[in-house]
Chain A
Amino acid sequence: MKNSMLLAVCASVATFATVQAGEVAPADVAFDDYGAVEMSLTGVAGDAENGANVFKNRKLGNCLACHANSDMASQLFHGEVGPVLDGVSDRWSAAELRGILSNSGNTFDGTIMPAFYVNDGYVRPLEKFEGKSILTAQQVEDVLAYLQTLSE
């Protein structure tokens, strides 16, 4: 109930502004010393179902490129570059997962995993991705909601 009201507010604001009201910009995300992010990036609860779509979509999260995930056994081809994500919410808190999703480099120094909520500092990005983060703030929250369903 509360969520749907918030959504309605955001939707009406969005018609007037390019940046979603209440959204934390990539440069303003507050990481703690261990790379965790306590505060929601949008204030809107994540949608786990959409998060699952973002997770498997090759143009969005493409998480399956590197991570196997038994919950998506019906999807062909799971990568082995990163750890299997089964039960991942038993290992990491929501804040830690939000941090890993936003900029994994703060949690895992030098990792190959891309930072999904960073929009500058890239070297030679393709023009169409310049100044853009891979995922939007809400997509990060949605994937987070999905990851929280992965417990054993």
Chain B
Amino acid sequence: MRIITLTAAVAASLALFAGASSAQVTDPLVVDGQTIVTSAPAPDFLDIDEVLSGWNFRTAETRALQTDDFENPAMIFVDQALDDWDTAEGTANKACADCHSGPEEFAGLRAELPRWNDDQGALFNMEAYINFCRTERMGADSLKLAKPRMDAMVALLSLQSRGDIINVAIDGPVADIWERGRELYYTRVGQLDMACANCHEDNYGNMIRADHLSQGQINGFPAYRLKNAKLNSTHGRFKGCMNNIRATPFAVGGEEFTALELYVASRGNGLAVEGPSVRN
């Protein structure tokens, strides 16, 4: 009883200090009994205090879909990827399952991506790892980026790290790429002449017409969007935002978007992997 009153009092006083912006929750996200953090102190290199998952900015109805895997429409695609996992392909006639014990083998991986691949001397995201196995180890075609089969496989592998705290390295061999990503994040582009930061750093929490602006975090990717009823990749989302400001998007899978992915991922250090999430 006492606790309830206190909590209510604290909530009320906090509300006094909150701006006029739209309601924004920071409730914990609980999926099938597992609590997934959706807010955390911001990494040192950011000027903001707190990092917030996009989950906090969605409506109660949209959020509810993500709290139950039977309701989460993304899980249909995860099931499709499980079939793919067992399908032999390529000149080696091998399936993922022939070399990997199961998708669980990749628990924790999503929380560290993208990261430097020493053997290949390049920055690798999940898509790059998947396609590397396909082309170099299976003798199969690479899966097309930002297309259903790839997005589904990324969702399956991301799910293995759900709830894990994102901890993307930004120093060492990736330092220059990270710096490039940072520069892209703050560069104004397009006829509307805006940078990612104008919306996702300066204005998160504000409504932009019908959209409640989030921090543009990628901890929830791939994301199932109600708007297009499919999984959406990180680069696909970046592309959409650039189109909206009437800018020519960089190439999906290209150097710029991969650098941007590293930088944006690092802005979410401290948040948890949510992929596959549900967004509007």
B187, B198, B209, B248: the one contacting A125 at CB < 8 Å is B248
Q: Do residues B199 and A79 form an inter-chain contact, with CB atoms below 8 A?
A: no
Q: Do residues A132 and B199 form an inter-chain contact, with CB atoms below 8 A?
A: no
Q: In the complex, A138→B190 CA distance in Å?
A: 23
Q: Do residues B191 and A80 form an inter-chain contact, with CB atoms below 8 A?
A: no
Q: A79-B206, A80-B20 are in contact. Are A114 and B189 (CB under 8 A)?
A: no
Q: Do residues B206 and A80 form an inter-chain contact, with CB atoms below 8 A?
A: yes
Q: Do residues A124 and B208 form an inter-chain contact, with CB atoms below 8 A?
A: no
Q: Do residues A80 and B21 form an inter-chain contact, with CB atoms below 8 A?
A: yes
Q: In the complex, A62→B208 CA distance in Å?
A: 10
**Residues of chain A contacted by B149 (CB below 8 angstroms):** none
Q: Do residues B210 and A125 form an inter-chain contact, with CB atoms below 8 A?
A: no
Per-residue A-contact encoding for B163-192, CB less than 8 Å = 1, 0 else: 000000000000000000000000111111
Q: Do residues A114 and B248 form an inter-chain contact, with CB atoms below 8 A?
A: no
Main secondary structure of the interface of B (DSSP, over half): loop
Is B100 positioned at the interface, with any CB of A under 8 Å from its CB?
Answer: no
Q: A79-B209, A80-B206 are in contact. Are A112 and B194 (CB under 8 A)?
A: yes
A76, A79, A114, A127: the one contacting B194 at CB < 8 Å is A114
Is B79 positioned at the interface, with any CB of A under 8 Å from its CB?
Answer: no
Number of contact residues on A: which range applies?
20 to 34
**Residues of chain A contacted by B203 (CB below 8 angstroms):** 81, 112
Q: Do residues A81 and B189 form an inter-chain contact, with CB atoms below 8 A?
A: no
Q: A112-B194, A125-B246 are in contact. Are A77 and B210 (CB under 8 A)?
A: yes
Which one of B22, B188, B213, B246 has the highest number of Cβ atoms from chain A below 10 Å of its Cβ? B246
**Residues of chain B contacted by A129 (CB below 8 angstroms):** 190-191, 246
Is A73 positioned at the interface, with any CB of B under 8 Å from its CB?
Answer: no
Is A126 positioned at the interface, with any CB of B under 8 Å from its CB?
Answer: yes
Number of contact residues on B: which range applies?
20 to 34
A144 to chain B, nearest CB (A): 20
Find the A residue at minimum CB distance from B212: A80
B40 to chain A, nearest CB (A): 25
Q: In the complex, A148→B248 CA distance in Å?
A: 35
Q: Do residues A65 and B247 form an inter-chain contact, with CB atoms below 8 A?
A: no
B16 to chain A, nearest CB (A): 19
Q: In the complex, A78→B207 CA distance in Å?
A: 8
Q: Do residues B243 and A126 form an inter-chain contact, with CB atoms below 8 A?
A: yes
Q: Do residues A66 and B192 form an inter-chain contact, with CB atoms below 8 A?
A: no
Within 8 A of B (CB), among A36-68: 58, 62, 64-66
Within 8 A of B (CB), among A92-139: 112, 114-115, 122-127, 129, 132, 134
Q: A126-B243, A126-B248, A127-B248 are in contact. Are A81 and B208 (CB under 8 A)?
A: yes
**Residues of chain A contacted by B208 (CB below 8 angstroms):** 65-66, 79, 81
Q: In the complex, A122→B187 CA distance in Å?
A: 11
Q: Do residues A126 and B209 form an inter-chain contact, with CB atoms below 8 A?
A: no
Q: Do residues B20 and A115 form an inter-chain contact, with CB atoms below 8 A?
A: no
Known: A77-B209, A78-B209, A126-B248. 14 other contacts (CB 8 A): A79-B208, A80-B21, A80-B22, A80-B206, A80-B207, A81-B206, A112-B199, A122-B190, A123-B187, A123-B189, A124-B242, A125-B190, A129-B246, A134-B192
A residues whose Cβ falls under 8 Å from a Cβ of B: 58, 62, 64-66, 76-81, 112, 114-115, 122-127, 129, 132, 134
Supply 21 A–B pairs (Cβ within 8 Å), ascending by A: A62-B209, A65-B209, A66-B208, A76-B210, A77-B210, A79-B207, A79-B208, A80-B21, A112-B203, A114-B193, A115-B193, A123-B247, A124-B189, A124-B248, A125-B189, A125-B191, A125-B246, A125-B247, A126-B248, A129-B191, A132-B191
